[in-house]
Structure 1
Amino acid sequence: MKIKIEMTYRTPKGTESTFQSEVMNPEKALLLAEDLAKTGRIKDMTFYDNHDTTWMLKELKRYVEDIDSEPHNVVVFFDGGFDVATKSSGLGCVIYFEQNGKQLRLRKNALVEELQTNSEAEYAALYLAIQALEDLGVHHLPVTFTGDSQGVINQMSDEWPCYEEDLLRWIDKIEGKLMKLGITPEFTLVSRKRNKEADHLATQALNGVEILSQSEINRAE
């Protein structure tokens, strides 16, 4: 969930004006709101999420307290590779998230042999990531899915049509899983260089190296 703050500021002499903040995560919005409230010059303060639902300060504070123990602020990177010679596919995903005040990273890959094309491998890698989200307990949250396959990103965003039956089955499977988990997806296209972690995991899978690890990362990274 993303939050925008709308506030009315009043000077000591009574001059008022209304301002809106940039969009930010709930934790940052709460910190700023509590600091602004200490000035004694904020007459009104309202919070709007990315669905234009209105929140009050107490509601937002309760939400942040409740969600801190669960994975949130989730960003997923995924990539798939296909070896024509062996008809094998390597799938890789990296999931960044916050939980209990920590920034964490999950890395996972898989080797599969039932796929026929690189495009299928890309979709399978996205599905692998969603399965990993389910295992983490991620549900009813917005999640950013990041990949370097223009076809997958644009088709999942409904910007491009898909006519291939094999890929349509993957799309239906992915959308069904997202709906089941209550995840609101946002799909972002990046260069292969920016997707190098997921790409490396997919390559490791093709080379027979299985990876499943979770670690805490420094906030400066």
Structure 2
Amino acid sequence: MNIKIELTYKTTKGTEATFISDEMRAEKGILIAEDLEKTGRSKNLSFIDRHDNKWTIKELKKFMQGIETEPHNVTVYFDGGFDLKTRKSGLGCAIYYEQNGKNFRQRINASVEELETNNEAEYAAFQLGLKEIERLGVHHLPVTFIGDSLVVINQLNGEWPVYEAELSKWIDRIEKQLERLGITPEYEIVSRKKNKETDHLASQALDGIEIRSTVEIGAEK
């Protein structure tokens, strides 16, 4: 979860000014806020998340403590590929998350035959990632979804219109699932070069190689 710190600073002579910090992880923000409060010169200190919700330090600490044992700080990378000759699609997802003070990475792929276009494959890969974080027990949290599909990201965030009926159905299914899980999606577009991990997973699925693994990052050999 990313936040900004907002506060009013008062000098020893009584001059005041309001400041808003750069965006940072909530854990880092709490440490900085606690240090600022020790100076006795900060007033009206609060945190602002990406959706302009305001949190007190007590509220944010309670929230962070509550999710510590559950998967949180979740990021889902996705990619889909469509083979025109075989009419098969390969889906790939890589999910990064924290739990109990540790960092994990989950990799999943799948091969499907009922899709008709590459854009559908991209949406199917997105939904595969969404299903997997539901299996992990992720709910009522912000989740960042990262892919290289301009169509999927820009249509889901409302930047681009949707003309194809089939893609509209995908969006409806995804939005209903996000709402049911209480997940606040945050979308990010990256280049294909920065999405190689899931591209490789999707290619492996097309080659008939099934992948499902979860590892603790830092514990790999």
TM over 0.5: yes
Amino acid paired to 1:90 = G
**Runs of 4+ that moved beyond 4 A:** none
Per the alignment, in what secondary structure is the counterpart of residue 127 of structure 1? Answer: helix
Note the C-alpha offset of 1:13: 4.0
Partner of 1:176: 176
Q: Matches of 1:20 and 1:109 in 2, distance apart?
A: 41
Query: Is 1:189 the equivalent of 2:189?
Result: yes
Q: 1:66 to 1:161 in 2, by over 3 A?
A: same
Partner of 1:11: 11
Partner of 1:54: 54
Q: Matches of 1:165 and 1:13 in 2, distance apart?
A: 64
Question: Aligned pairs, how many?
Answer: 219
* Partner deviation per Cα, 1:140-196 (whole Å, 9 max, x = no partner): 112111111111111112221222222221111111111111111122211111010
Query: Is 1:64 the equivalent of 2:64?
Result: yes
Is contact 1:25–1:73 with CA below 8 Å preserved after alignment? no
Task: Report matched runs for 1:82-93 at 5 Å.
Answer: 82-93=82-93
Per the alignment, in what secondary structure is the counterpart of residue 199 of structure 1? Answer: helix
TM-score (norm 2): 0.92
Q: Matches of 2:148 and 2:3 in 1, distance apart?
A: 28
Note the C-alpha offset of 1:33: 0.9
Note the C-alpha offset of 1:9: 2.4
Task: Report matched runs for 1:139-150 at 5 Å.
Answer: 139-150=139-150
Note the C-alpha offset of 1:129: 0.5
Q: Which runs of 5+ in 2 are unaligned?
A: none
* Partner deviation per Cα, 1:60-80 (whole Å, 9 max, x = no partner): 111111111111111111001
Q: Matches of 2:201 and 2:78 in 1, distance apart?
A: 9
Q: Which runs of 5+ in 1 are unaligned?
A: none
Partner of 1:153: 153
Amino acid paired to 1:114 = E
Note the C-alpha offset of 1:54: 2.6
Q: Matches of 1:165 and 1:55 in 2, distance apart?
A: 40
Per the alignment, in what secondary structure is the counterpart of residue 124 of structure 1? Answer: helix
* Partner deviation per Cα, 1:22-53 (whole Å, 9 max, x = no partner): 12222111111112223333244222223333
Per the alignment, in what secondary structure is the counterpart of residue 213 of structure 1? Answer: strand
Q: Matches of 1:187 and 1:54 in 2, distance apart?
A: 21
Partner of 2:77: 77
Instruction: Quote the sequence identity (%).
Output: 62
Q: Matches of 2:110 and 2:121 in 1, distance apart?
A: 11
Amino acid paired to 1:17 = A
Partner of 1:133: 133
Query: Is 1:103 the equivalent of 2:103?
Result: yes
Is contact 1:9–1:18 with CA below 8 Å preserved after alignment? yes
Q: Matches of 1:154 and 1:9 in 2, distance apart?
A: 39
Q: CA RMSD in A?
A: 1.7
* Partner deviation per Cα, 1:111-146 (whole Å, 9 max, x = no partner): 111112211111110110100110111111121111
Per the alignment, in what secondary structure is the counterpart of residue 30 of structure 1? Answer: helix
Is contact 1:81–1:122 with CA below 8 Å preserved after alignment? yes
Per the alignment, in what secondary structure is the counterpart of residue 163 of structure 2? Answer: coil
Per the alignment, in what secondary structure is the counterpart of residue 160 of structure 1? Answer: coil
